Structure 1
Amino acid sequence: MEKSHLTGSVFYNYVICPRKAWLMQYQINPDTEHDLLSLGRLNSKEHYERAEKEAVMPGIRVDIVRREGDELVLGEVKKSSSGLEASTLQLAYYLQRLEEEGVEARGEVLVPKERKKVPVKLDEETRERLSSSRSEIEELLENSNPPQAKWLKFCPNCAYAEFCWS
């Protein structure tokens, strides 16, 4: 699988569960009727009605885009902060991709039910984390089979649970 096919979602899912990242990249879709998928889609609509919604370009689908003065701000809306490290990496990937296109921006992971707003910037540590994650993800995706299922704290609420554990 080519690295140009990487998306922010694969970075997010890789942190949560490498198996889930592999399944998504190979277009093995989860249970689309899973309750939490539906709730996730409603979350940003419900909490950020006035914000400009969903900016999309290859490998990027940002929940919210807004301007604060001269600054472009990307917002990723999450239902909880349990995957905050993953959300931060996902948003950092978006910021890096935009930077590569000459667009400067900063990011915020928004968790409305917890009233959290976590700033995300492309500092040296974040760039190193992106680089090492990219290498690990590319290595993962070179395999023609997904990693073995491994029970994680996210499994009970995962749309792939039936796929992995039945």
Structure 2
Amino acid sequence: MSFDFEDYKTLGVKINYYYICKRKLWLFSKGISFEKYNDRVLQGKVVHETSYKREQNKEIEIDGNIKIDIIDKNFIREVKISSKMEESDRMQLLYYLYYLKNMGIERRGKINYVKEKRVEEIELTNDDIQEIERVLVEIKEIDLLDKAPRNIKKPFCKKCSYYEFCYIMEEC
């Protein structure tokens, strides 16, 4: 069976949210966003603005769907504060590689974890492609849900920009 990427293209941040919390993904998909009020999100923006100042090709937006932090002739790089959400960071970068591959552009990826001064190199495999295509189908299904998925109640929820929205009734 052939996968038609054009039917499933989505925002890179949705890939990230899919691996963190499907409720967050659904809320974001419905236009409910609290990121601009979150300290961690603001901290991430500062890291992006102040890191790798000498790089020429920063913040490259493609099709309004993905925003590549840094691109050069061999790599695309994502800049992250820390590796606490390593799986979602990795899958977001793999999605960018997949997206570019569908445009005929072959690159490898690097995630730069600024706080840890660590770099992880990523290469898109056939297994990754299958995973991304599966996730794109699920994201489309989540987008179409009438009700938000249940809360996941993980330790990182308290630092999420959606925390109060998700848990306000439990605190009453």
Task: Give the TM-score taking structure 1 as reference length.
Answer: 0.90
1:100 maps to which residue? 102
Question: Is residue 2:73 matched to residue 1:74?
Answer: no
1:55 maps to which residue? 60
Please say if residues 91 and 107 of structure 1, whose CA atoms lie closer than 8 Å, have aligned partners that are also in contact.
yes
Question: Is residue 2:7 matched to residue 1:6?
Answer: no
Letter in 1 for 2:67: R
Structure 1 residue 152, shift from structure 2 partner: 1.4
The 3 A distance-change label for structure 1 pair 149 and 123 is same
Structure 1 residue 37, shift from structure 2 partner: 1.2
Question: Is residue 2:18 matched to residue 1:21?
Answer: no
Letter in 2 for 1:60: I
Structure 2: gaps (5+ residues): 1-5
Paired residue total: 161
Please say if residues 3 and 138 of structure 1, whose CA atoms lie closer than 8 Å, have aligned partners that are also in contact.
no
Q: What do residues 79-104 of structure 1 show as CA deviations (whole Å, max 9, x unaligned)?
A: 11011111111111111111111111
More strand by share: 1
Alpha-carbon distance between aligned partners in 1 of 2:119 and 2:70, rounded to the nearest angstrom: 13
Please say if residues 108 and 120 of structure 1, whose CA atoms lie closer than 8 Å, have aligned partners that are also in contact.
yes
Amino-acid identity (%): 30
The 3 A distance-change label for structure 1 pair 50 and 159 is same
Q: What do residues 63-119 of structure 1 show as CA deviations (whole Å, max 9, x unaligned)?
A: 11223xxx2x11111111011111111111111111111111111111011111111
